[in-house]
Chains A and B, each alone.
Chain A
């Protein structure tokens, strides 16, 4: 789980409230906001925010990784390598360092 402080950085009020809400959910054992690296294989999540540098952020945005978009994590490379997600029907490989800066929210529809 990412520490909540990191999440606050640069988040606007709406997201802040969401995070607080999530913190409460977390107490019940259902963390909803996390970074992409923490997701399970095959989990479908919604992108909340990309906390990366300008270049990487632009690139990701151009490829469709923007807040609000649904992505599915499909692969984890061995030895803490990159991971693969499906975004808008195409597979994208993202380095682990960058993936840890992508904050996602677990879809409410999915169980955990």
Chain B
């Protein structure tokens, strides 16, 4: 629901008198995150918007005696309802929490960036335009007339080169100036006066409604909002209808007072048939009447222009922007000659019909190799440490002490397992993702794979989390949030969870690779990808809805910003450490308790028909497979432990067929526990359970088929 009750921010101790809340908004890839990093440093936290699967980046800094809370909104192109990110962003921006928007604009792509600016203007929030990448623009012998821009928008407009940090602090000075001195009726000032007076919450709420609903009151002498009618004029016919709608909305202001959107914004969105705004209006009778009215208007306008309303309005905005850009863009030299840059060359190579795919394979191999080699190295070090400490503890407190077992073997063992088995893979992996994302490679992969992915019911973007899945499924599933619709998210997480991750690969390499050779690894991979294909097809058939088409911006390549990459890697790892590790530790304790009471012994018996009779594996593997849910490579680790204790080797313990079946089952049978949690976060628990069950079923089915296939063939 797009309505916000005024949230009482002062509950958060820090945010009272001198706090300024800033939202960073802008298109994707305009350098927003660089600015955010420079402003907030290491104070950032990463989380989700309440109840949504959209990432929320927050940070703070203190500057000139003010405390700035900065929220980095997701990069979006407009304030429609195309994706969840757009809805979340616009709801947040109009909430009482925001004093000021900093709209980051890419100077080299002015027209499209200003489209979003025009939409933000409609929200009537104090705003600063930060024009980034001015250095690139000047390199092209172009410049901007900032004075004219300020005049046109009646907003502070600042040049910025965020990668060098130029202009970032002027932003804050301008923010203070704008919020504190020039706009005395901002949320900020209201909070201030509230802190110093005894008026209750209610009083300010009323004042707030009044202010927002009447534009005349809203425009202060000291701070002037741009005349929207002048700037964002949609043409006579459209404006006429908008003004009638505004009148109607204003008449029943009390009815829609629970939302913070200005009437004009509501009117435009009503015309555009915006589903979220319609929800606000369907709540009462007057609203329904206004909806009817807007529907009539929409039909009239569409009839008149022979186009649908969104196209009409977008065209009008783009026409305006063209005029603005023509006016403010200064060409210094004669026409600049376009030359092929290194970026163009790499772009050509990575989207080439042959080399493109070769590079894609190399990238996947690179991710796997990097994650695996660093993770394996660090994990090995940690495991050695833990074994030494373990022996020490066992020697001192007795191996069979129940508390030692629960706390040490279970809790700390789980912790070390999580650090040594998961975290050491996750951190290098985050590093690779950030490099890939920052350089701009991933959209190229989507471009190449779009056709293939379409046959699985999703568009090319799905390949991005899937590529990441080769490193670790856990963050890769979280990465599925880039998919626009619920349906695509569901298919994406399912496909991603089936990608063999670095941990799974240890099992395959350690068992099949070591004893049977590369040839069999290839076969296992082919089976794995066939399964992915089948699951994709299956979900495509069963999930309601249709496959949407790919619409994606292809950014130019650029040299990754080292600082941003390191900070992002740290922020993401921090989130993983605090959110996923506790769960893993608790699970470790639970498993240990179950082991103490021999509760797992029956599992072997229960699983006996499946493991022994159907798959032909030793029945002890039942417990190993259960452990594998926690960490996939545990299946192999436990198998080796068993082999050691029996003074034999794996090759004696398992026949070649058993090895293949065991590896295959490990590859497919279930996403690891952390992955399941993330699937549930992206979709819901029911779906996560369904996926888990589906994968277990497939693993058992295919494992059995292979086993019996071997039996039959060897029989001949």
- Residues on A close to B: CB < 8 A? 10-12, 14-15, 49-50, 52, 54-64, 66-69, 75, 77-82, 84, 88-98
How many angstroms from the CA of A84 to the CA of B344 in the assembled complex? Answer: 14
Evaluate contact between B109 and A57: CB separation under 8 angstroms: no
Report A95 CB to chain B, min CB distance, Å. 4
Report A54 CB to chain B, min CB distance, Å. 7
How many angstroms from the CA of A98 to the CA of B450 in the assembled complex? Answer: 12
- Which residues of chain B are within 8 angstroms of A56 by Cβ–Cβ distance? 548-549, 551
25 A-B interface contacts by CB (under 8 A): A54-B308, A54-B310, A56-B551, A58-B310, A59-B77, A59-B80, A60-B551, A61-B310, A61-B314, A62-B78, A62-B314, A63-B551, A64-B111, A66-B311, A75-B351, A77-B351, A79-B451, A79-B452, A81-B460, A82-B450, A92-B551, A92-B553, A93-B553, A95-B549, A98-B549
Residue among B77, B351, B451 making CB contact with A63, cutoff 8 Å: B77
Evaluate contact between A98 and B314: CB separation under 8 angstroms: no
- Which residues of chain B are within 8 angstroms of A11 by Cβ–Cβ distance? 306
Report B113 CB to chain A, min CB distance, Å. 9
Q: Which 4 A-B pairs have the closest CB atoms?
A: A12-B306, A78-B353, A95-B549, A61-B314
How many angstroms from the CA of A26 to the CA of B272 in the assembled complex? Answer: 37
Residue among B315, B551, B553 making CB contact with A98, cutoff 8 Å: B551
Chain B residue at smallest Cβ distance from A64: B112
How many angstroms from the CA of A90 to the CA of B451 in the assembled complex? Answer: 22
Determine if B459 is an interface residue (Cβ-Cβ < 8 Å): yes
How many angstroms from the CA of A94 to the CA of B351 in the assembled complex? Answer: 14
Determine if B552 is an interface residue (Cβ-Cβ < 8 Å): yes
How many angstroms from the CA of A49 to the CA of B556 in the assembled complex? Answer: 28
Q: Indicate whether A95 sits within 8 Å of B459 (C-beta atoms), given known contacts A81-B448, A90-B553.
A: yes
Determine if B18 is an interface residue (Cβ-Cβ < 8 Å): no
How many angstroms from the CA of A49 to the CA of B451 in the assembled complex? Answer: 24
Report A89 CB to chain B, min CB distance, Å. 6
Determine if B446 is an interface residue (Cβ-Cβ < 8 Å): yes
How many angstroms from the CA of A89 to the CA of B107 in the assembled complex? Answer: 11
Evaluate contact between B314 and A88: CB separation under 8 angstroms: no
How many angstroms from the CA of A75 to the CA of B443 in the assembled complex? Answer: 14
Report B320 CB to chain A, min CB distance, Å. 13
How many angstroms from the CA of A92 to the CA of B550 in the assembled complex? Answer: 10
Report A60 CB to chain B, min CB distance, Å. 7
- Which residues of chain A are within 8 angstroms of B554 by Cβ–Cβ distance? 84, 91-93
Determine if B533 is an interface residue (Cβ-Cβ < 8 Å): no
**Residue of B448, B451, B460 most packed against chain A (CB within 10 A):** B451
Determine if B82 is an interface residue (Cβ-Cβ < 8 Å): yes
Q: Indicate whether A50 sits within 8 Å of B311 (C-beta atoms), given known contacts A64-B111, A79-B451, A93-B443.
A: yes
- Which residues of chain A are within 8 angstroms of B273 by Cβ–Cβ distance? 54
- Which residues of chain B are within 8 angstroms of A61 by Cβ–Cβ distance? 310-311, 314-315
Q: Is the interface of A mostly helix, strand, loop or mixed?
A: mixed
Residue among B78, B80, B115, B550 making CB contact with A82, cutoff 8 Å: B550
How many angstroms from the CA of A92 to the CA of B109 in the assembled complex? Answer: 13
How many angstroms from the CA of A89 to the CA of B318 in the assembled complex? Answer: 13
- Residues on B close to A: CB < 8 A? 77-78, 80, 82, 108-109, 111-112, 115, 272-273, 306-308, 310-311, 314-315, 318, 351, 353, 356, 443, 446-452, 454, 459-460, 548-556
Evaluate contact between A96 and B315: CB separation under 8 angstroms: no
Evaluate contact between A15 and B306: CB separation under 8 angstroms: yes
Q: Indicate whether A59 sits within 8 Å of B553 (C-beta atoms), given known contacts A64-B111, A67-B307, A95-B459.
A: no
Chain B residue at smallest Cβ distance from A11: B306
Evaluate contact between A94 and B451: CB separation under 8 angstroms: no
- Which residues of chain A are within 8 angstroms of B311 by Cβ–Cβ distance? 50, 57-58, 61, 66-67
How many angstroms from the CA of A52 to the CA of B546 in the assembled complex? Answer: 14
- Which residues of chain B are within 8 angstroms of A84 by Cβ–Cβ distance? 351, 447, 554
How many angstroms from the CA of A15 to the CA of B446 in the assembled complex? Answer: 35
- Which residues of chain B are within 8 angstroms of A97 by Cβ–Cβ distance? 454, 549
Q: Indicate whether A64 sits within 8 Å of B550 (C-beta atoms), given known contacts A80-B451, A81-B448, A90-B109.
A: no
- Which residues of chain A are within 8 angstroms of B447 by Cβ–Cβ distance? 75, 77, 81-82, 84, 93
Report A71 CB to chain B, min CB distance, Å. 13
How many angstroms from the CA of A57 to the CA of B307 in the assembled complex? Answer: 11
Evaluate contact between A95 and B553: CB separation under 8 angstroms: no
Evaluate contact between B450 and A95: CB separation under 8 angstroms: yes
- Which residues of chain B are within 8 angstroms of A60 by Cβ–Cβ distance? 551
Chain A residue at smallest Cβ distance from B547: A97
- Which residues of chain B are within 8 angstroms of A77 by Cβ–Cβ distance? 351, 353, 447-448, 450-451
- Which residues of chain A are within 8 angstroms of B450 by Cβ–Cβ distance? 77, 81-82, 93, 95-96
Evaluate contact between A67 and B315: CB separation under 8 angstroms: yes
Chain B residue at smallest Cβ distance from A81: B451
- Which residues of chain A are within 8 angstroms of B446 by Cβ–Cβ distance? 93
How many angstroms from the CA of A67 to the CA of B112 in the assembled complex? Answer: 15
Residue among B77, B108, B353, B551 making CB contact with A95, cutoff 8 Å: B551
How many angstroms from the CA of A84 to the CA of B115 in the assembled complex? Answer: 21
Chain A residue at smallest Cβ distance from B110: A89
Beyond known contacts A68-B315, A94-B549: 10 more, CB 8 A cutoff: A54-B310, A56-B551, A59-B80, A61-B311, A63-B553, A78-B451, A82-B447, A92-B553, A93-B554, A95-B550
Chain A residue at smallest Cβ distance from B448: A77
**Residue of A12, A14, A67, A88 most packed against chain B (CB within 10 A):** A88
Chain A residue at smallest Cβ distance from B106: A90
- Which residues of chain A are within 8 angstroms of B548 by Cβ–Cβ distance? 55-56
Chain A residue at smallest Cβ distance from B353: A78
- Which residues of chain A are within 8 angstroms of B451 by Cβ–Cβ distance? 77-82, 96
Chain A residue at smallest Cβ distance from B325: A88
Report A76 CB to chain B, min CB distance, Å. 9
Report B312 CB to chain A, min CB distance, Å. 9
- Which residues of chain A are within 8 angstroms of B306 by Cβ–Cβ distance? 10-12, 14-15
How many angstroms from the CA of A56 to the CA of B356 in the assembled complex? Answer: 27
- Which residues of chain A are within 8 angstroms of B356 by Cβ–Cβ distance? 78
Evaluate contact between B82 and A59: CB separation under 8 angstroms: yes
How many angstroms from the CA of A68 to the CA of B307 in the assembled complex? Answer: 12
Evaluate contact between A58 and B80: CB separation under 8 angstroms: yes
**Residue of B112, B273, B459 most packed against chain A (CB within 10 A):** B112
Evaluate contact between B318 and A94: CB separation under 8 angstroms: no
How many angstroms from the CA of A60 to the CA of B318 in the assembled complex? Answer: 12
Residue among A52, A78, A89, A93 making CB contact with B550, cutoff 8 Å: A93
